[in-house]
Amino acid sequence: MSTHFSDAVRRSRSGSSAILVLEDGRTFVGEAYGALGETFGEAVFTTGMTGYQETLTDPSYHRQVVVQTAPQIGNTGVNDEDDESSRFWVAGYVVRDPARRPSNWRSTGDLGERLAAEGVVGISGVDTRALTRHLRSRGAMRAGISSVDLDPQSLLARVQSAPQMAGADLSAEVTTSSRYTVEAAGEHRYTVAALDLGIKRNVSRRLAERGVTTHVFPASSSIDELLAVSPDAVFFSPGPGDPATADGPVALAREVMRREKPLFGICFGSQILGRALGFGTYKLGYGHRGINQPVLDRTTGKVEVTSHNHGFAVDAPLNTVIDTDFGGVEVSHVCLNDNVVEGLRGLEVPAFTVQYHPEAAAGPHDADYLFDRFVELVEKKG
Ligand SMILES: NC(=O)CC[C@H](N)C(=O)O
């Protein structure tokens, strides 16, 4: 460790020191936040000003070191209502200024303590603006956080041998071990079989509000297992990892479409459906993560402000009807920041997808209508 560097480590504000090392060698010094220890993952930034609890519990962040661009994190503590799954999933957590004293009427605890209890190794006191600009110009990359080894060179060697996100097949690590059911709220109207590739609770909640009973299935389920609950429709969930690895779910999506069951896919589910229709997927430079991404719904001409969390995207031509094994398909939604494909729609097969998060949690509710569209598709089919 250079003298200059150890001085910086000693100067850190309080508690234990920690370092963050990116795979290109860029290093940030700060304080340990959450659990003490060492962790590795893909460094990505999210721009949401609210919703850190939903972010931390979103399974799609599995194996990612999440950088919050919002400078103050933890102000409203944690509560018993906002978890999007049964645990924290992020591989590591990077913030600038953690709240010393959380305050909110729903708060039941402190974020730093919850991070520690969940075993999430984090770092605070980081210049998250500089880090974000670095990731934005160089791209998302592997990173390590350590409060046990403060030597950047030795940490860098381990960062460089950590697994990449490209090629990562993570569904089996986040999916439910057995099937469970989320009952419709009020009168039951329809039954949906949902493939859990890393589902968020708000998806089944949004469906339940519309009279849908959702049976949530493990990622490795077969078409016969799905059909055994006599679903009116099938849903493919969001989830972590590289869609290029998801051959099992891609084959399943083709089976669903062959049977002309209505099919809706969100995010990872959208990428899988894209592949099932014959499109490729690719890795974005630094991804879309935040809750104010503008998306154009080309079927209505309306712009919606939406919640995103994706590092990969579907490669499909924007301005034409595309001929696929399942008939004509068009790009229904695009991101207005960069023209990335944000949704697909079958013109003959009853299937559609969005690459972003109509379930929000966190985020605005502009895209809530997509759950209505799903139910309308089921109605039409029935
Ligand atoms: N939220 C998601 O479903 C993410 C999908 C995929 N893992 C990506 O990063 O693009």
51 to 57, 78, 329, 362: CA distances (angstroms)? 10, 10, 34, 5
Q: Which atom of ligand 1 is nearest to the CA of 240?
A: 7
Residues 299 and 354 in one domain: yes
Q: Are 267 and 195 in contact (CB under 8 A)?
A: no
CATH number at residue 176: 3.40.50.880
Residues 141 and 210 in one domain: no
Percentage of residues of the chain with pLDDT beyond 70: 96
For the question of an ipTM over 0.90, the answer is yes
Residue 100 above 70 pLDDT?
yes
The verdict on whether residue 16 carries a ligand-binding annotation is: no
pTM score, whole prediction: 0.95
Helical packing angle, 201-208 and 369-381, nearest 10°:
60
Q: Which atom of ligand 1 is nearest to the CA of 357?
A: 1
The total number of structural domains that make up the chain = 2
For tokens 């309080």, name the residue. Answer: 14
- Ligand 1 centre distance from Cα of residue 183 (Å): 26
pLDDT of residue 15: 81
State the pLDDT confidence band at 325, using cuts at 50, 70 and 90: very high
CATH number at residue 92: 3.50.30.20
Residue 304 above 70 pLDDT?
yes
Please list the residues that pair with 296 across neighbouring strands: 303, 334
Calpha distance 346→20 (Å, rounded): 44
Residues 175 and 201 in one domain: yes
Do the domain assignments include residue 165? no
Atom 7 in ligand 1: which residue has the minimum CA distance?
Answer: 240
Q: Is 335 a catalytic residue?
A: no
pLDDT of residue 16: 95
Q: Is 113 a catalytic residue?
A: no
Domain that holds residue 321: 171-381
The verdict on whether residue 312 carries a ligand-binding annotation is: yes
Residues 226 and 357 in one domain: yes
pLDDT of residue 328: 98
Residues 141 and 186 in one domain: no
Do the domain assignments include residue 156? yes
Interval 22-50: pLDDT, tens: 999 999 999 999 999 999 999 999 999 99
Residue 3 above 50 pLDDT?
no
Interval 113-148: pLDDT, tens: 999 999 999 999 999 999 999 999 999 999 999 999
Q: Is 283 helix (H, G, I), strand (E, B) or coil?
A: strand
Among residues 141, 160, 179, the one where a domain terminates is 160
CA angle 152, 89, 237 (to 5 degrees): 135
Residue 7 above 70 pLDDT?
no
- Ligand 1 centre distance from Cα of residue 310 (Å): 4
Residue 293 above 50 pLDDT?
yes
The one catalytic residue among 62, 288, 310, 357 = 357
Q: Is 357 a catalytic residue?
A: yes
Residues 20 and 113 in one domain: yes
Residues 183 and 320 in one domain: yes
Residues 272 and 312 in one domain: yes
Residues 179 and 156 in one domain: no
Residues 259 and 183 in one domain: yes
Residues 27 and 74 in one domain: yes
Over residues 287-297, mean pLDDT = 98
pLDDT of residue 381: 84
Do the domain assignments include residue 292? yes
Residues 130 and 220 in one domain: no
- Ligand 1 centre distance from Cα of residue 4 (Å): 39
Atom 3 in ligand 1: which residue has the minimum CA distance?
Answer: 238
Q: Would you mind telling me the total number of residues written for the chain in this entry? A: 382
The one catalytic residue among 23, 267, 330, 335 = 267
Interval 179-209: pLDDT, tens: 999 999 999 999 999 999 999 999 999 999 9
The verdict on whether residue 239 carries a ligand-binding annotation is: yes
Residue type, 238: P
User: What tokens appear for 2 in the block?
Assistant: 């250079």
Residues with CB under 6 A from ligand 1: 60, 238-241, 267-268, 309-312
The verdict on whether residue 241 carries a ligand-binding annotation is: yes
Q: Quote the DSSP letter at residue 243.
A: G
